[in-house]
């Protein structure tokens, strides 16, 4: 029987009177590597290129023929023919036909679940929206008014001739006279505004001639039985003319810019009596 690679290397080393340790020191390799060569354990050495390298160095050290060892190594490592009996068989057609329906079923469940989730979410949002009361926005700039049972009297006339802007103040309707008209008749007064000012004007009969906020750059002409009781919310921007002449109201202006006074017969301005006092 032919001698193997490991046996030939061992015999050659023993003829050279070398131990495994001495041979490994001369080749600068690990003793386990030489023991693997002598035991024909080539798998422990790695790839064939490394096996052949170690075989050559070991053979030259102990006096063996590297080419003869390579031939033996090549014969022992030839690739065996494949075992055709173990070729994997294809999946039967019945199994492959089941894959398609299974995929369709899975996709159908996924689509149905998605549709159910969307519908339930939309229904929940609809219920939430329907149950939530809608806020009603009420404009604070537009007062709500009740229908009047009787038409209001016409507002007092402005200065003659010119068309002037209407003030946003509500000009109150004339109230029923509380007493007879004095023999002196009525007195005319013109209120000229350069800025917004709250204004209240009553005549001697208790009739309300003006009541509300008058905006700036407007003229209002009033006529009533004297004395006229006047209250101005901001008197610093109001000028009053009586009988075509300006009447000074500066002495009646208080520290908060309000003013209360009377316009008597002849355009004379007087301090206003207490609010509940009777006008004469």
For residue 34, give the CATH number of its domain. 1.10.260.40
Q: Residue 56: is it exposed, middle or buried by C-beta count within 10 angstroms (0-12/13-18/19+)?
A: middle
Q: How far is CA 241 from CA 142, 219, 268, in A?
A: 33, 10, 11
pTM (two decimals): 0.36
Displacement of CA 259 from its chain's centroid (Å): 52
Nearest to 197 by CA among 144, 148, 243, 235: 235
User: How far apart are the C-alpha atoms of 207 and 229, rounded to whole Å?
Assistant: 10
Among residues 76, 108, 124, the one where a domain terminates is 76
For 31, the domain range is 5-76
**pLDDT winner (highest mean) among 62-76, 95-109, 193-207:** 193-207
Q: Residue 214: is it exposed, middle or buried by C-beta count within 10 angstroms (0-12/13-18/19+)?
A: buried
Mark whether 274 and 183 lie in a shared domain. yes
Among residues 76, 98, 125, the one where a domain terminates is 76
What digits encode the pLDDT tens for the residues 164-188? 444 444 444 444 344 444 556 899 9
Mean per-residue pLDDT, 194-200? 93
Mark whether 178 and 279 lie in a shared domain. yes
Task: Give residue for tokens 């109201």.
Answer: 249
Kindly report the average pLDDT of the chain as a whole number.
75
| pLDDT surpassing 50 at residue 143 | no
Please say whether the beta carbons of 174 and 209 come within 8 A: yes
């Amino acid at each position: 029987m032919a001698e193997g690679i490991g046996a030939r290397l061992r015999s050659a080393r023993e003829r050279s009177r070398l131990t495994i340790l001495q041979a490994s020191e001369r080749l600068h390799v690990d003793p386990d590597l030489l023991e693997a060569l002598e035991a024909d354990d080539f798998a422990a050495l790695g790839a064939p290129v490394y096996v052949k390298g170690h075989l050559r160095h070991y053979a030259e050290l102990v006096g063996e023929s590297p080419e003869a060892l390579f031939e033996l190594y090549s014969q022992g490592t030839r690739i065996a023919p494949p075992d055709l009996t173990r070729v994997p068989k294809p999946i039967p057609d019945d199994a492959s036909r089941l894959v398609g329906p299974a995929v369709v079923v899975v996709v159908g469940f996924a689509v149905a679940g998605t549709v159910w989730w969307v519908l339930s979410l939309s229904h929940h949002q609809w219920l939430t929206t329907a149950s939530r009361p809608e806020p009603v926005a009420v404009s604070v700039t537009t007062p709500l008014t009740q229908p009047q049972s009787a038409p209001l009297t016409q507002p007092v006339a402005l200065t003659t001739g010119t068309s002037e802007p209407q003030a946003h103040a509500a000009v109150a309707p004339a109230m029923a006279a509380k007493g007879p008209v004095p023999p002196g008749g009525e007195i005319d007064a013109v209120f000229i505004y350069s800025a917004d000012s709250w204004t209240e004007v009553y005549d001697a009969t208790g009739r309300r001639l003006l009541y509300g906020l008058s905006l700036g750059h407007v003229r209002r002409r009033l006529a009533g039985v004297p004395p006229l009781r006047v209250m101005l919310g901001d008197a610093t921007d109001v000028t009053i003319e009586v009988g075509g002449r300006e009447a000074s109201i500066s002495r009646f202006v208080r520290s908060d810019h309000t003013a209360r006074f009377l316009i008597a017969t002849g355009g004379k301005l007087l301090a206003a009596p207490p609010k509940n006092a009777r006008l004469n």
